[in-house]
Amino acid sequence: MPLNVHITPRRVIGQRSPMIYGHFIEHFHRQIYGGVYQPGHPLSDEDGFRTDVLDALRRIHIPILRWPGGCFVSSYHWKDAVGPERQPLFDKAWRVEDPNTFGTDEYVKLCRKLGCEPYICTNAGTGTPEEMSDWVEYCNLANEGRWARWRIANGFEKPHGVKYWSIGNENYGHWEIGAKSAEEWGRLVRESAKMMRHVDPTAELSAAAIHDTAWTMNLLRTCGEYIDWISIHEYWDMMPETNHPATYEQCMAFTDRIDHSVREVRGMLAALRLDGRIKIAFDEWNLRSWHHPNVHTIRQGVGKDSYLTPRDKNDDNSTYTMADAVFTACFLNAMHRHCDIVGMANFAPVLNTRGCIYSDDNGVVLRSTYHVFDLYVNHMGDTVVDLWAEGDMPQMTVPFKWGGERTVDCVDLLATAFSDKPGLAVAAINKDAENAHTLHIPLDAPSAITLLTLNGDSKDAYNDVGHEGVTVAETCLGVQEGCAEIALPPHSVSIIRIG
């Protein structure tokens, strides 16, 4: 039976921030070195940035890019990677040597090339509030103080103007260097925020949190008046030690309650009457966690074959199928629905590892998730409007990777309008691996209908070097009146343009 879908553009749910399409890059494996930054490579520009990677990133109009970590940042001292005299460091988080040739100035230069906002995550592991505030001084003061003058001496007369800063990464976790108790964390965040604001009162600050009542409520009570954002992270298909990706059906089970972290943190903000002032930054997320065995464990791997070489498995392009695309679209739909409280989200990472782009010495591969961002960024509207489905939503029962089963809706729908032009854009996701589902959309007036559909020839289709199994097809359905009938193929993500 067709699903009757009603859209009420006059009932506005909220305005979507463009920053929910943000991304993240870390000093891990081939994300920076051998990824976006390869001085001397034939495809690199005069500043050492891969032009093919930059072109792909520009196409999805990245609004904000979080850096330098991630776990990396919790033993990173920014001053070692600034200026002409740089010494390599041994990265204790990932157990590799980092040459320190890519630091703050190179990162800001990358952001300027992309036209995106920089978002710096500070060292709250082995770092101090003073070190964090010195970083703000280096980036944002015009000419006052030792660190601003150092920036000028390094060839950057104008301030970098970094507006967004995160105090720490996942300092609640035992795996993080410099992990803190809830009480320790509240005090550190408060003192860091005070010093950072004394340097630049216009900076917007976030602090790491988790959907754990004791941790987050203590943070909010201690620091609620000092911070603008609360930062949360989540990966669903956890594979840090064993690289065994979930099947398509298991990934669909993860779409059940995909927004639980947002709802739980929203509740804590509301309980303390902070939901009108503090927004949520979902600043690390992806379906699949990064594979890095024997480094976040008590007993460390001995020999690089036990902890370093296995990271290459992250770059097996056959892993990133329509399951990843469908999940990513479901996540973005959920963040749109929470647009009143979620003001930022950062896909982790943007390049290599589990990124939406893969690079090697010869070029780039656009993975299935890349095309989801391309569709949403370039075709969805910025105003979330009311949509409801009449009748019974088709459902399916799928296996849960960690045991048991989950029942989930087959179709996920989101309607948007445009603040600068007429028309509607509907994101229509068919999670069903086997069956097409049909939508009937009543139209108030004759309207031109265009359908853009991301799909492959199977649920396990993927893109790789010399292999393009996942593509976007555009179909003009002409002017329709009365009711538009739209067929959603199995395992697909579609954008329906109306008007």
- pLDDT tens-digit readout, 217-258: 999 999 999 999 999 999 999 999 999 999 999 999 999 999
List pLDDT tens digits, range 338-390.
Answer: 999 999 999 999 999 999 999 999 999 999 999 999 999 999 999 999 999 99
CA nearest neighbour of 139 among 76, 206, 202, 96: 202
Mean pLDDT for 125-145 is 97
Q: 277-325, pLDDT tens digit by residue?
A: 999 999 999 999 999 999 999 999 999 999 999 999 999 999 999 999 9
Domains and CATH numbers, the chain: 3-11+385-498 (2.60.40.1180), 16-379 (3.20.20.80)
pTM above 0.95, yes or no: yes
CB 300 within 8 A of CB 241: no
Q: pLDDT value at position 239? A: 98
HSE (side-chain half, CA atoms, 13 Å) at 212? 14
Nearest-CA neighbor of 13 among 495, 336, 418, 265? 336
Q: Give the pLDDT of residue 266.
A: 96
Q: Answer yes or no: are the C-beta atoms of 24 and 66 closer than 8 Å.
A: yes
Three-state DSSP state, 236: strand
Q: What is the pLDDT of residue 1?
A: 79
Q: How far apart are CA 276 and CA 273, in angstroms?
A: 7
Amino acid at 118: P
CA distances from 165 to 18, 24, 76, 139, 283 (A): 18, 13, 15, 11, 11
Which pLDDT tens digit goes with each residue over 51-102?
999 999 999 999 999 999 999 999 999 999 999 999 999 999 999 999 999 9
Scored b (16 or more CB within 10 A) or e, 278-302 reads bbbbbbbbbbbbbbbbbbeeeeebe
pLDDT of residue 26: 98
pLDDT at 212: 82
Q: What is the pLDDT of residue 136?
A: 98
**Polymer length in residues for the chain:** 499
Q: What is the mean pLDDT of the chain?
A: 97
Identify the pLDDT of residue 44: 98
> Are 174 and 215 a contacting pair, CB within 8 Å?
no
Q: What pLDDT does residue 453 have?
A: 98
Place of tokens 């007993």: 299
What token pair was written down for 420?
């600068």
Q: How far apart are CA 432 and CA 398, in angstroms?
A: 10
Note the pLDDT of residue 211.
77
DSSP string, 108-124: HHHHHHHT-EEEEEE--
What amino acid occupies position 277?
R
> Can you tell me the distance from the alpha carbon of 494 to that of 412, in angstroms, rounded to the nearest whole number?
10
pLDDT at 394 over 90: yes
The pLDDT score that the predictor gives to residue 364 is 98
CB under 8 Å to 71, separation ≥6 — which residues?
Answer: 26, 93, 94, 169, 170, 175, 176, 177, 296
Close Cβ partners of 254 (under 8 Å, ≥ 6 residues apart): 236, 237, 246, 287, 327, 401
